[in-house]
Amino acid sequence: MKLCRIVMAVVTCAVLASVSTGAMAATTLKFGTLMPQASPWGKEFKKWAAQVAADTNGDLTLDFQWNGQAGDEALMVQKVRAGQLDGAAVSAAGLSQTGVTDVLMFQLPGLFANWSKLDAVRGALKDDLDRQFESKGFTVLGWGDVGAAKTMSIGFEVHRPSDLQGKGTFVIAGDAVQPTIFSAIGGVAPRSLSITEILPGLTSGAVNVVTAPPLVAEELQWASHVTHISTQTSAFVIGALIASSPRMRALPQRLKDVMAARGAELSGRLATMVRNLDAQAFDRMKSTKKAYDLTDEDRAQWKILFDKVYSQVRGTVFTPATFDRVLALARQ
């Protein structure tokens, strides 16, 4: 009988130890990003991970796959949906892969006059967009910016839409707007490339024109290949940090609270930092490339093109009511 009590005590202790160990086990969330670890985004993501770990006493850790190791943005979104990743940092093109294509409206060329106008419109639509993402199984942990896109090229200037005819252009998977623009111009045969394929394309000469924020062009090593840059901002590129909604819901409430609070802080820091660094990158490129301005007639030609594109994407790519609302807010 005494032996039986001893055995039962040992078993009970073992069970309690097992439960205790399980309760203390750390949860790791895996995130994917195209950005290098040493980039401004990478540094902020690492800071965010350190804060989350500190706030949770190590109960929640964030593990990043850098430099597109998890695939391009379309693949990363697929992996989040399939449970192979817990989250990803993506641009609007990646966000649209969730099924919420209305988010691409923020990157419509020629729509916003400045960052302040974009901020106002995004703020007005934020709650509705958050709900749309949740309905698709994704949680927006924080909105962010990528930069003010400029047209960069190798060996020529791009003043008017017709200057792109016959040039080495490309489209990114998930971007439903750029193909419409090229089609409206005519005489443009873009390649379908992933972000990681652009640098080899620039190196080989298959790609000779890129429209991107200067900071991105520097971080992804495109800037060293281009020779010309327009001073005109064609569009404002945005992004967000998204996560699997089921994965977020499964976290204990205290961990959810930390993720929400630190995610909001990260979003705020990135907005100011990225815009400043992008402007500095543009200044550097203007000093090492041939920078050129557009004339009033050049800008008029682009406006004609963009207005034509707007009429084509309304109701096809974008929800008509949301598109009309964004257009009205942007033009106020």
Q: What is the pLDDT of residues 259-301, one digit of tens each?
A: 999 999 998 888 889 999 999 999 999 999 999 999 999 999 9
pLDDT-derived band at 194, boundaries 50, 70, 90: confident
Give the per-residue pLDDT at 8.
45
Contact status, residue 259 vs residue 141, Cβ threshold 8 Å: yes
Is the pLDDT at 16 greater than 60, yes or no?
Answer: no
Question: What is the mean predicted confidence (pLDDT) over 30-43?
Answer: 92
For the cut 90, the answer to whether the pLDDT of residue 18 exceeds it is: no
Confidence (pLDDT) at 328: 95
How far is residue 71 from each of residues 8, 18, 31, 126, 245, measured CA to CA in Å?
A: 52, 37, 11, 27, 21
Q: How much is the average pLDDT of 187-198?
A: 92
Residue type, position 188, single letter: V
Proportion of the chain above pLDDT 70, given as a percent:
92
Residue 199 has pLDDT above 70, yes or no: yes
Quick one: pLDDT at residue 176? Answer: 85
Average pLDDT value over all residues in the chain? 91
What is the pLDDT confidence band of residue 174, given thresholds at 50, 70 and 90?
low
pLDDT range class, residue 15, cuts 50, 70, 90 = very low
Q: What confidence score (pLDDT) does residue 273 get? A: 92
93-115 per-position pLDDT tens digit: 899 999 999 999 998 999 999 99
Task: Return phi, psi of residue 25, to 5°.
Answer: -65, 135
pLDDT of 149 over the 80 cut: yes
Strand partners, 87: 31, 243
Contact yes or no for 46/12 (Cβ under 8 A): no
Buried b (16+ CB within 10 A) or exposed e, 145-159: bbbbbbbbbbeebbb
Q: In Å, how far from its chain's centre is CA 79?
A: 16
Least trusted range by pLDDT, from 18-22, 228-232, 258-262: 18-22
Task: Give the pLDDT of residue 330.
Answer: 93
- pLDDT at residue 11, rounded to an integer: 41
Mean pLDDT of 137-159: 95
pLDDT, position 80: 97
Helices 320-330 and 115-135: angle between axes, nearest 10 degrees: 160
* pLDDT score, position 144: 86
Q: Name the band, by pLDDT with cuts 50, 70 and 90, for residue 140.
A: very high
**Percent of the chain residues topping a pLDDT of 90:** 83
pLDDT for 9: 45
State how far the Cα of 294 lies from the Cα of 231, in Å rounded to an integer: 8
For the cut 60, the answer to whether the pLDDT of residue 4 exceeds it is: no
Q: Collect all residues with Cβ–Cβ distance below 8 Å to 324 and sequence separation of at least 6.
A: 314
Task: Out of 3.40.190.170, 3.30.1360.70, 3.90.420.10, 3.60.20.30, select the CATH number for domain 28-330.
Answer: 3.40.190.170
Domain regions of the chain by residue span: 28-330
Q: For 63-84, what is each residue's pLDDT tens digit?
A: 999 999 999 999 999 999 999 9
